[in-house]
Amino acid sequence: MMQVFWITIITIILIYQLLPNLIARHFDPRVLRHFPAQGNQIALTFDDGPHPVYTPELLDLLRDQGIHATFFLVAENAQAHPEIVKRMAKEGHAIGLHSLNHRSFWLETPKQTRLDFEKSIRIFQELEIEPIGFRPPWGTFNALTRHYACKSGLPIFLWSRNAKDWKIKTQPEDIVSRISQNLAVGEIIVLHDAGGNPKAPEHTIEALGIALPQLKKFFNFVPLTKGDECRELDPTPVS
């Protein structure tokens, strides 16, 4: 009996978590790691915000450099700092969803996954923000993540380049190297303006102050836009 129990548990994990995550991260062409660039375009993206201190500092830097980016926001953080969200939109940055409260979808039941999207979309509607897409925390999926993202009308964006800047031990020079070396057109760079280790965004902002003036000599930074990669048979909205 105990053996049957554990076989059942392992089977559920494989079907609900591991296999969907593997397929979405590595094989599903509808999960975007690059974007269809025109000319020398690349995309700079930020996760986990907004943060009341670091995000305004980052917005100042992007404004001074004349660069537009995409912010994948944790909905509860956005709800707590609506003035920062409004500034993002006013200054021409794209805004996407990064879940309700940054809980891994590996840990969410089907009902929790549905509610995660329902509550997040409701918050974005209250803020009068239409998200251009969705990025799951840590890039993790369960069997229903993509389904509910699509029912919410949100294409899924991962990344082609990860600076690993959420770690405080990642120094500014490491970040500069990771986002600059052999950079190619159509790449999506992921950085963080919140979350991770305390004060880690300080390294991110310092690194961008070094890297952006050089990179913009060769690349045009553009915000991501909502495409038609996300198609579902059921068009009924999630909320």
Question: CA-CA-CA-CA torsion for 57, 176, 73, 31, nearest 10 degrees?
Answer: 160
Q: Assess contact for 195 and 166: CB atoms under 8 A.
A: yes
2 vs 88 pLDDT, higher one: 88
Smallest CA-to-CA distance from 148 within 116, 104, 101, 106 is with 116
What are the catalytic residues? 47, 192
Q: What distance in Å separates the CA atoms of residue 203 and residue 191, rounded to the nearest whole number?
A: 11
pLDDT at 53: 98
The conformation of residue 228, written as its DSSP 8-state character, comes to: S
Q: What distance in Å separates the CA atoms of residue 12 and residue 178, rounded to the nearest whole number?
A: 37
Structure tokens at 137: 């925390």
Q: What is the mean pLDDT of residues 209-230?
A: 90
Q: What ranges do the domains of the chain cover? A: 2-221
Q: pLDDT tens, 12-62?
A: 666 788 888 889 999 999 899 999 999 999 999 999 999 999 999 999 999
Q: Assess contact for 76 and 48: CB atoms under 8 A.
A: no
Written out in words, the top-level CATH class of the domain with range 2-221 is alpha beta
Q: pLDDT tens, 129-185?
A: 999 999 999 999 999 999 999 999 999 999 999 999 999 999 999 999 999 999 999
